[in-house]
Structure 1
């Protein structure tokens, strides 16, 4: 069992190398004198008076470090906001560490710094924006009539509701003056190039980091429907409810929509995603002699239910004794957890705990579920591993896995039983990876 756990860790670690932010930047950005090669664009830097580098997200600092290395002294000014514990020294770009997944005062300050740069930009300036997962919380501002505490409470309610990231960000975009294309509005008429590390299923540009430089197809009415769907209208602060009500009636300006002229000089490029990480995971698993199946690259749903489906599939494979080699099932995406208990954990640990329960008395199957960003929920673990030994160890310790699962307390379960995967901040973020190894 222990060998399988180490193999699963090795496959996961190899997948992370595919989405290392600095290397992703260097793959798509190059410079020849004053000619910048950016994805499929050729940009004459001499045509601009200033080059500004801004960004937000868990991976934004290493992305910015790579930009400094490539462009060097040509950067006029820059500002990045990242999660606490994710900053490293930069040469000329100001870094602010702030709260995630719930915004805080530092997020407000960092966002104001970014806004001030964009407000000074003209049509003769180039803005390079670096975005990754976490940007929605880190690009923090307060709508008229609300307080930071109001926005924090609304974020916490959304995160605990079971809403998916598309729904959560629909609300976030309409409680902000920077999300949902609104940073592009502030930067207009400057030339804007946004480089994006995707942490959202299907890589929708308008959802990743709440799409600050992307046209937003959603409306105040859509945000209202999300809150209504999850029975939050009577729970959110009155000031937030009033702001959204006014937005629905046209009192507040809508987010900019497709076709708006502010996007004429804006380019948005996805440079890294979960698909790329899965491809590298597959490469390593095959190198280690496994037959590999990609279960899904758009995994979603309640973590404990997803665990049941994946383990069911693994058990079917296990029954097939004709397999000439060990088997590996890979999946990528992002599940959700509806909080009903008062425990501690995250979606990956909850998925692994649910898998452990399904694997009781089932030898030959090992599951790893982990976030590529190094953090699973409000914990220091990025995920956990489970196999038939997990429940055995729990029983030996007098621990009932079902009780911990019911209380959403996966962190304390694995803390006692063993199986946590702790990497520290990885400086990247492309959702989650699940590795299932099967030895018949």
Structure 2
């Protein structure tokens, strides 16, 4: 008998292999004509592993530089590697932001640089105006995450409190640059990936204030923070000397998953690469779609696999432990009582889910039990799967193209 849960996990792992640094290097060579000599910079969850891979193939071309990541134990030969923090910025974030800005601004107009940009950048590097303390920013970031703000809302707010985000890092750079981007946002919006540090921005102080009001945080801000917002003038335009190239995104991984499934003669549909919203609400929609596909009147032929990509959010009201992928998987399971023939995988491509050391979870209807509601109410999905099984663990993958949901649907007598 085929173990569908293990099958889904293996296909997910196979697809992760397509966005490893070595795998992406061939895409880099195809998409970007790298200079004969260049300085190498970067920030994000994938920056260190990408830099190591690039050094292996282009060592003689690299003249120096700095990489900032949260990946320990990555040794680089020609580039300094700074460890910083994620998802909450720290003193290391401020140090890294200062160093990157100084080194990039010191390059001449005849110099070339390559910048490796990926998710996590917004926390890993920062430079603050004198009116704002690091603790101010940490508290605000914690509150926005706790209240379920999505990446666009989070980065919009960050840009208006920063001296390097929203394209401001690029303003004094005269060198010629290529930014290789691993997208962790819906639609590959370059103003949002890494808070658009080298690209630009089109948000306004009114946008930032509206988000803070939405989450009931505006009145909690200090007077100096409110003043920074009121005086904010981001609106930086992209610079002609810095070119951005997206080398990997969520759709890239979903297409690889679809190819794997079709090679096994399994009908497959990519439902969306723009999944977003509260995890429990998305879960109900996904579960209903899967159950509809099982019904006698369904136009779909089975077995069928539905693929979703994107990033949900969780508004934390309990005291438990978990992450958006575990919460999404558990919430889907809550709708599968007495349902056989549906297996679901929810996992993050960065290998980290929330405040846990797991990637996500895989479930099927047979795992349903009456305690699910209690675990969900306490935002304690981690301990549910720790007790009943279902966790997926990869460790930090060194990359990030948002989250993947796979729903495998088959007739009960085919299981």
Fold conserved between structures, TM > 0.5: yes
Alignment correspondent of 1:183? 169
65-74 or 277-286: bigger deviation: 65-74
Task: Say whether residues 1:255 and 2:234 are aligned partners.
Answer: yes
- Which consecutive unaligned segments of at least 5 residues does structure 1 have? 30-37, 46-50, 248-253
C-alpha separation in 2, matches of 1:87 and 1:316: 47
CA contact (8 A) 2:293 2:299 kept: no
Deviates more, 1:11-20 or 1:95-104: 11-20
After superposition, residues 224-243 of structure 1 pair within 5 angstroms as 224-243=209-228
Q: CA deviation at 1:4?
A: 0.8
Instruction: State the distance in 1 between where 2:331 and 2:2 align.
Output: 19
Q: Helix, strand or coil for the counterpart of 2:350?
A: coil
Confirm or deny: 8 A CA contact 2:84 2:93 kept in the other structure.
Answer: yes
**8 Å contact from structure 2 (residues 203, 235) kept in 1:** no
For 1:75 and 1:112, the matched residues in 2 are separated by 22
CA deviation profile, 1:124-181 (whole Å, cap 9, x unmatched)? 1112110001111112222222111111011111112222211111111111111111
> Gaps (5+ residues) in structure 2?
none
Cα distance in 2 for residues equivalent to 1:93 and 1:238 = 41
- The match for 2:241 is 265
2:67 is aligned to 80
Q: Cα 1:26–1:238, aligned 2, differ >3 Å: closer, same or farther?
A: farther
d(CA) in 2 for partners of 1:42, 1:78 = 15
Equivalent position of 1:39 in the other structure: 31
Q: Please name the residue that 1:141 is paired with.
A: 127
Q: CA deviation at 1:40?
A: 5.1
Query: What pairs with 1:161-310 in structure 2 (closer than 5 Å)?
Result: 161-187=147-173, 189-247=174-232, 254-258=233-237, 263-310=239-286
TM-score when normalising by structure 1: 0.89
2:319 to 342, 349, 355: 342
**Offset from partner CA, 1:65-109 (integer Å, 9 cap, x none):** 1221232133222111111x4541111111112111111112222
Q: Distance in 2 between matches of 1:79 and 1:203?
A: 25
More divergent stretch after superposition (329-338 vs 112-121):
112-121
Change (3 A) 1:44 1:380: closer
The secondary structure found in structure 2 opposite 1:24 is helix
* 1:111 equivalent in structure 2: 97
Query: Residues 406-437 of structure 1: CA distance to partner in whole angstroms, max 9, x if unpaired?
Result: 11111111111111111101111000000111
CA shift at 1:219, angstroms? 2.1
Give TM-score, length-normalised by structure 2: 0.94
Which segment drifts farther, 285-294 or 144-153?
A: 285-294
- The Cα RMSD (Å) is 1.9
Aligned length: 410
